[in-house]
């Protein structure tokens, strides 16, 4: 079950969630992948900064660190005393020097990998009006951090660590009080967007959605799985292109990675695990 591919330290590294492992090989190699020795449990992604890897050990409720994929890894000391719950994604923003994580309890956190300070928690987590739903991922584009607020079909742009701009998508289902209904997965006609990841590539933003039959109640799970749009105004107006036909039916597109002029996409099949655990290299026009 591939959720992410990272290109770090001259290696291609795939997060294989279903088998609780990373696999890796030299960048550009056509050889077999090597299984790492890092101990993980339901992990989703990793990053690399100044000779050290940092990964979200999602079902272990930790962020771990290691210097080499032949190590088992240890808990990152920056999170001592912080109660992480299923941390999903981790990214490094070279513009400000911080590593950012997103999880289901503390929300957005960050730490400086060049010192031993405890990670900071953003005020977005404690605002009077709840801002975060089930947020699955983070993206860094031109030095700006974006939170992918998955269950509410939103993208949150961090203006600074404690202030933000929210971009809402149309079509989100609401309760009788007008509040958005949080949906961990679904289908466009049942839930609206349930974003897994959002990334900038070329002149477009690209979005992937967790649409799958067990959450769809008979609705089409292929429509709007993979979309793109030019501006945030287009996103909020629903002016996006549907590229779902690029993927086999039933496949869930997960995290994007931009590398060497190409857009990579990790995918899996929710209903039939192991049947489409692939990384696609896309060259959309």
Q: 37, 5, 6, 8: which is closest to 20 by C-alpha?
A: 37
Residue-wise pLDDT tens digits, 219-255: 999 999 999 999 999 999 999 999 999 999 999 999 9
Q: What is the pLDDT of residue 173?
A: 83
Q: What is the pLDDT of residue 128?
A: 65
Q: 130, 124, 103, 95: which is closest to 43 by C-alpha?
A: 103
Residue-wise pLDDT tens digits, 27-62: 988 889 999 999 999 999 999 999 999 999 999 999
Q: 6, 16, 7: which is closest to 277 by C-alpha?
A: 16
pLDDT band at 283 (very low <50, low <70, confident <90, very high): confident
DSSP string, 39-88: --SS---EEEETTEEEEEEGGGTEEEEESSTTS--EE-GGGTT----S--
Q: What is the pLDDT of residue 272?
A: 84
pLDDT band at 118 (very low <50, low <70, confident <90, very high): very high
User: Mean pLDDT across the stretch 165-191?
Assistant: 89
Of the two residues 200 and 129, the one the predictor is more confident about is 200
Q: What is the pLDDT of residue 25?
A: 96
Separation CA 114–CA 98 (nearest Å): 9
Query: Considering the entire predicted model, what is its pTM?
Result: 0.95
pLDDT band at 210 (very low <50, low <70, confident <90, very high): very high
Residue 115 has pLDDT above 90, yes or no: no
Q: What is the pLDDT of residue 34?
A: 96
Of the two residues 50 and 285, the one the predictor is more confident about is 50
Classify each residue of 24-39 as buried b or exposed e, where b means 16 or more C-beta atoms within 10 Å of its C-beta.
beeeeeeeeeeebebb
Residue 173, Ramachandran bin (φ over 0: left; ψ between -120 and 50: alpha; else beta)? beta
Residue 285 has pLDDT above 80, yes or no: no
Residue 274 has pLDDT above 80, yes or no: no
């Amino acid at each position: 079950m591939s959720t992410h591919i990272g290109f770090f330290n001259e290696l291609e590294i795939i997060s294989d969630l279903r088998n609780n492992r990373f696999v890796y090989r030299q960048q550009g190699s056509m050889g077999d992948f090597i299984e790492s020795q890092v101990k993980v449990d339901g992990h989703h992604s990793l990053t690399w900064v100044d000779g050290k890897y940092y990964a979200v050990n999602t079902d272990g409720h930790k962020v771990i660190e290691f210097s080499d994929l032949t190590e088992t890894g240890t808990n990152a000391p920056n999170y001592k005393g912080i109660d992480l719950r299923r941390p999903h994604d981790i990214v490094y923003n070279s513009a400000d020097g911080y590593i950012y994580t997103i999880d289901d309890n503390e929300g957005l956190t960050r730490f400086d990998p060049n010192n031993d300070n405890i990670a900071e928690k953003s005020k977005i987590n404690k605002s009077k009006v709840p801002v975060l739903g089930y947020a699955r991922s983070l993206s860094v584009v031109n030095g700006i951090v974006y939170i992918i607020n998955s269950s509410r079909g939103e993208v949150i742009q961090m203006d600074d660590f404690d202030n933000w701009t929210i971009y809402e998508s149309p079509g989100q289902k609401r309760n009788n009080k007008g509040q958005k209904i949080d949906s961990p997965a679904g289908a466009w006609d049942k839930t609206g967007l349930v974003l897994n990841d959002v990334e900038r590539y070329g002149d477009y933003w690209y979005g992937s959605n967790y649409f799958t039959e067990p959450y769809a109640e008979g609705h089409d799970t292929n429509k709007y799985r993979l979309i793109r749009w030019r501006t945030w105004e287009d996103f909020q107006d629903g002016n996006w292109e549907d590229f779902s036909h690029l993927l086999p039916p039933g496949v869930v597109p997960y995290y994007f990675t931009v590398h060497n002029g190409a857009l990579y996409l990790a995918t899996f099949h929710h209903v039939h695990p192991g049947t489409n655990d692939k990384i696609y290299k896309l060259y959309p026009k």
